């Protein structure tokens, strides 16, 4: 009975639908090259697993990563930011909580070459024209209809809280989780993370924690703050 009670204690998201984005996006230059970043997907996958443990129905929108799908989670694989946007918009139509842990490329090459781009013997420099990708989490937070409780991350290398607070306001988020990605053993590709949770009521910094454990804590905080279902 005690185990049963403990099991139910953490089942804070029963009946709720959660969508999580995770990992990097890849922005193709030509058939063999792309622009991307060092996100491993660990933070987002840990959040999806934690939400599932808490009883939620979870959709995990994953960029190209090397991680197994958490048990009981519906996974949608995407490659580019535009594909991630489309999958996220579809998931957001049917979710109560949207968590953006993905490291989406801010820009993509203006043109994708159909053939491999050749090295030019006479040129020592080359410029690349980029266009801005849509901001996925801001698009979802800007909804007036079927707007989920929207949580973003902020990957910063300086003035972490200030920049995260600015993103919280600018993107109209309900909560933002700031991580200093310049710190050793934290942020991109690490098993641990050091975060500050910011919302309209203030901010709280947690000590360096394994992403798997941190995910349970973050899900508990999100579950406590997301409005109850009608």
Task: Check residue 102 for interaction with ligand PMT (CB under 6 A).
Answer: yes
Residue 24 beta carbon to ligand PMT: minimum distance, rounded to whole angstroms: 7
Contacting residue, 54, 58, 87, 100, with ligand PMT by CB under 6 A: 100
- List C-alpha distances in Å: 30 to 24, 34, 62, 112, 132: 18, 7, 22, 5, 18
- When the beta carbons of 22 and 56 are compared against ligand PMT, the nearer one is 22
Residue 176 beta carbon to ligand PMT: minimum distance, rounded to whole angstroms: 7
CA-nearest of 223, 181, 217 to 24 is 181
8 Å CB contact between 45 and 3: no
With CB under 6 A as the rule, give the number of residues binding ligand PMT. Answer: 29
Look up residue 87 and give its two tokens.
């999958």
Residue 211 beta carbon to ligand PMT: minimum distance, rounded to whole angstroms: 6
Q: Which residues are CB-neighbours of 168 under 8 A, at least 6 positions away?
A: 152, 154, 175, 176, 198, 199
Task: Map the footprint of ligand PMT across residues 37-66, applying CB under 6 A.
Answer: 39-43
Q: How far apart are CA 66 and CA 159, in angstroms?
A: 31
- When the beta carbons of 40 and 196 are compared against ligand PMT, the nearer one is 40
Task: Check residue 189 for interaction with ligand PMT (CB under 6 A).
Answer: yes
Which helix (H) or strand (E) element contains residue 207?
none
Look up residue 110 and give its two tokens.
């203006």
Residue 65 beta carbon to ligand PMT: minimum distance, rounded to whole angstroms: 7
Contacting residue, 52, 150, 179, 194, with ligand PMT by CB under 6 A: 179
- When the beta carbons of 55 and 178 are compared against ligand PMT, the nearer one is 178
Mutual angle of helices 211-225 and 42-53, in 10-degree steps = 60
- Secondary structure class of 82 (helix, strand, coil): helix
Residue 17 beta carbon to ligand PMT: minimum distance, rounded to whole angstroms: 19
8 Å CB contact between 75 and 95: no
Of the listed pieces 8-16, 27-35, 132-140, 201-209, which binds ligand PMT according to CB under 6 A?
132-140
Which residues sit in the known binding site?
A: 106, 116, 134-137, 153, 167, 171
Provide the binding-site residues for ligand PMT, judged by CB under 6 A: 21, 23, 39-43, 81, 100-104, 106, 133, 135-137, 152-155, 167, 179, 181, 187-189, 193
Instruction: Give catalytic residues, as residue numbers.
Output: 37
């Amino acid at each position: 009975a005690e185990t049963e009670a403990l099991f139910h204690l953490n089942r804070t998201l029963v009946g709720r639908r959660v969508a999580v984005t995770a990992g990097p996006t890849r922005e193709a230059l030509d058939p063999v090259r792309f622009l991307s970043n060092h996100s491993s997907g660990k933070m987002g996958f840990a959040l999806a697993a934690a939400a599932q443990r808490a009883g939620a129905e979870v959709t995990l929108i994953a960029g190209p990563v090397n991680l197994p799908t958490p048990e009981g989670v519906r996974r949608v694989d995407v490659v580019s930011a535009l594909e991630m946007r489309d999958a996220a918009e579809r998931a957001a139509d049917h979710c109560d909580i949207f968590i953006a842990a993905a490291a989406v490329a801010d820009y993509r090459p203006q043109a994708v070459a159909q053939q491999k781009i050749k090295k030019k013997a006479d040129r020592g420099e080359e410029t690349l024209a980029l266009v801005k990708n849509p901001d996925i989490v801001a698009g979802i937070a800007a909804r007036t209809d079927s707007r989920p409780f929207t949580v973003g991350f902020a990957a910063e290398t300086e003035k972490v809280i200030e920049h995260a607070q600015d993103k919280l306001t600018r993107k109209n988020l309900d909560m933002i989780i700031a991580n200093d990605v310049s710190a050793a053993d934290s942020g991109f590709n690490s098993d641990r993370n050091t975060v500050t949770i910011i919302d309209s009521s203030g901010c709280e910094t947690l000590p360096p924690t394994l992403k798997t454990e941190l995910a349970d804590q973050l899900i508990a905080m999100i579950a406590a703050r997301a409005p109850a279902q009608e």
